[in-house]
Amino acid sequence: MRVLVVEDEKKVASFIKRGLEEEEFTVDVAFDGEEGLYLAENNPYDIILMDLMLPKKDGLEVIKELRAKDIVTPVLCLTAKDSVEDIVSGLDSGSDDYLTKPFAFSELLARVKALLRRSAKDRGAEIYFADLRLDPVTHKVWRSDQEIDLTAKEYALLEYFMRNPNQVLTRAMIAEHVWDYTFDSFTNIIDVYVNYLRKKIDRDFDKKLIHTVRGVGYVLKEG
């Protein structure tokens, strides 16, 4: 899962990023509203954590602009404001939940997971491709009804493939979604993880699903 944290307090942003990465999330951070809006418009995130009092462009305005552009990524507002009026304003702007500062990381994580579960159910929960089946809620994967045990990164990589079937995915695209936008896509880490995934998804089956597009990247397709 890929998360965008928009938070101008660098200590708070670092605290959130470190905690989420320990939970196997991929985390990008923006320190002002304009940068947050740019990243949210140009990258596929599973959830956005949005501080409301931001430099350059406040969080409520960022949320409104995202919703106006039909970007429906779940947004969890983070703010020191806790009045009923502030909460209503945040929800009316298009956010999905509201967490007041200071907060325990355990509560933040619980809210994030709840929004991701809700989002997964809204998208139809289980994803199918050929004889592959993936459950975004439980993070379980099956091929031909045989459950396949994946690491967190292997799962994230497969989910990205399954949400974009029959589409050539470049190493840069994979790096941005499964790792983060600062990841060096010219390293061989992506190729290593694709090979790990192939061994688990394709090795014991006649029909291969993960294919290399030489000089470009990879594609999930039949045949």
Q: Where are the domains of the chain?
A: 2-122, 127-220
CATH topology of domain 2-122: Rossmann fold (3.40.50)
- In Å, how far are 134, 163, 208 from 131, measured between CA atoms? 10, 15, 11
Per the CB < 8 A criterion, the answer to whether 30 and 6 are in contact is yes
Whether the Cβ atoms of residue 58 and residue 52 lie closer than 8 Å to each other:
yes
Q: What are phi and psi of 73, to 5 degrees?
A: -55, 130
Instruction: Specify the pLDDT at position 119.
Output: 66
Tokens of 26: 């991929």
pTM for the predicted model, two decimal places: 0.59
Amino acid sitting at position 125? A
pLDDT tens by residue, 64-114: 999 888 888 889 988 876 666 666 666 666 777 888 888 899 989 988 988
* Residue 190 backbone phi and psi in degrees, to 5: -60, -45
Q: Could you give the angle at the alpha carbon of 65 between the alpha carbons of 61 and 70, nearest 5°?
A: 145
Determine the 3-state secondary structure of 79 from DSSP. Answer: strand
pLDDT per position in the chain (223 positions), as tens?
Answer: 789 999 999 999 999 999 999 988 889 999 999 999 999 999 889 899 999 889 999 988 999 999 888 888 889 988 876 666 666 666 666 777 888 888 899 989 988 988 887 765 555 568 899 999 998 767 789 999 899 998 878 888 999 999 899 999 998 888 877 775 555 556 688 889 999 999 999 998 999 999 999 989 999 999 7
What is the phi/psi pair of residue 90, to 5°?
A: -65, -45
Give φ, ψ of 113 to 5 degrees.
Answer: -65, -35
The DSSP output letter for 214 is T
The residues facing 28 across adjacent strands are 4
Q: Which of 137, 149, 148, 178 is nearest to 24 (CA)?
A: 178
Say how far apart CA 164 and CA 129 lie, in whole Å.
10
| Fold type of domain 127-220 | Arc Repressor Mutant, subunit A (1.10.10)
Distant-in-sequence, close-in-space partners of 133: CB < 8 Å, separation ≥ 6: 126, 127, 141, 142, 143
Cα 40 to chain centroid distance, Å, stands at 11
